[in-house]
Amino acid sequence: MDPIQDAVTFFESQELGEELSHQGVQTTRAAAKVNKQKLSHEQEIELVEYIEGLTQRALPPTRAMIRNFASYIARERVGEGWTTGMDRKRHHADSEAKYNLYFDLLYQKIAQYRVEPQHTYNMDKKGFLISITGRSKRIFSKQIKALPLGLIYQAAQGNVQSTWVEAIEAGKH
């Protein structure tokens, strides 16, 4: 018999509804997805908790950092797009309502502490490295939590600058 006739005979002998698989191996899509995952469910939970801890300490990790963490845990390199799923599930932080709340709170604090315009400075959590490090995306938790407000020091004469500038010790900061 030729190979084509063998194949025809094989397929005709199959029961109706009997599943075919390559080399006798077949799994469900869900099982195949689990087998392809780099991290187990428990490892993913630990990684998310670690990311949330970093975020609470005002150090939200970049995508590259998360890939490095995952690669270390999995003991194999994860791909460039590995964090895309996490990013897709991330809470959308850019909303007009949130910006309005932020600026309303900012203006309230400026009025409360009588901060004069010449004593305001623009500095984010990266401090003086802004011009050096450039722009990078950060991953945040989907949970909505307010970050703790920064401390505002008020001098006896009512301005803010003299107290926090004097608090900086040369060589220590």
Residues counted in the chain: 173
Q: What is the model's pLDDT at position 72?
A: 92
> 16 is written with which tokens?
């109706």
Give CA–CA dist 141/52, Å, rounded: 6
> 48 is written with which tokens?
């998310």
Q: What is the model's pLDDT at position 151?
A: 46
User: In the chain, what are the domain boundaries?
Assistant: 3-34, 94-124+145-173
pLDDT tens over the chain, length 173 residues? 688 888 888 877 776 655 656 555 666 676 666 667 788 888 888 998 998 888 777 777 888 899 999 999 989 998 888 887 665 555 555 567 777 787 888 888 888 888 888 877 766 555 555 455 556 666 666 665 554 444 444 555 555 554 445 555 556 55
* Chain Cα centroid distance, residue 2: 58
- Judge contact between 20 and 12, C-beta under 8 A: no
Q: What is the model's pLDDT at position 68?
A: 92
Q: Of 167, 169, 155, 166, which is closest to residue 116 (Cα–Cα)?
A: 155
Collapsing DSSP states into helix, strand and coil, what is residue 62? strand
SS3 content of the chain, % helix, strand, coil (to 5): 55, 0, 45
Give CA–CA dist 101/146, Å, rounded: 11
Q: How many alpha carbons lie under 13 Å from residue 37 in its C-beta half-sphere? A: 13
Q: What is the model's pLDDT at position 55?
A: 78
Q: Is the dihedral of CA 116, 118, 122, 126 positive or negative?
A: negative
Give CA–CA dist 39/37, Å, rounded: 6
Its pTM surpasses 0.85: no
Q: What is the model's pLDDT at position 167?
A: 53
